Amino acid sequence: MALRERRPGSNRSARSVRHEDFRVLVNCGVRYLDIAERHQCEPSARDYVDAVPMLQAISTTDTTPMVRVPWNDPAIIGKVLDAGAYGVICPMVNTAEEDDAFFEACRYFPKGGRSVGPLCASLYAGADYFQHANDTIITMAMIESEQAVKNLEDILKTPNLDAIFVGPSDLAVTMGEAPGFDPRYPAV
């Protein structure tokens, strides 16, 4: 996976569920492509049914398939990983304890509590998916609140976090500012 190689590159968020648009996007040489399941009012992948063909399209490229889940919920996280996501972007991670719960939802025993059921993932990653999934799944916590910023040092110390992703709009709101996709407030 391109993202695990820690080489420079770019990412994109998939907003369209039109298969023609998505097939072009996955062949643009991005490091990772995240499928947003979060905001239902956006023209984004709204659910698992939309995400599966997107994950299948990504599997034909070197791009790392990531899914931005709607919440830190082990059932949702397990489902997108079983469908073939190689990483999860989890919103509203405010504490180290929430980050630990997120990590555990992404890992099989003994590192976590993820249920075994990776049919699509094993088709993409190979029959030995179960043996290497705990070492290859990427966990990316979204920092989207003033509380998360205050706890950022502790969140970053959690041993299994791969990356953070700052959500500027929600972060701005929790800091008393107006929302926006590119807020220019000093605190944000």
CB–CB of 106/112 below 8 Å?
A: yes
> Smallest Cα–Cα separation from 103: which of 143, 37, 34, 163?
163
Residue 14's DSSP bridge partners are: 35
CA-angle at 33, arms to 163 and 70, nearest 5°: 70
d(CA 42, CA 129) in angstroms, rounded, equals: 33
**What Å distances lie between residue 169 and 3, 60, 62, CA to CA?**
25, 33, 30
Annotated catalytic residues are: 39
Rounded CA separation 109/175 (Å): 38
End-to-end CA distance of the chain: 32
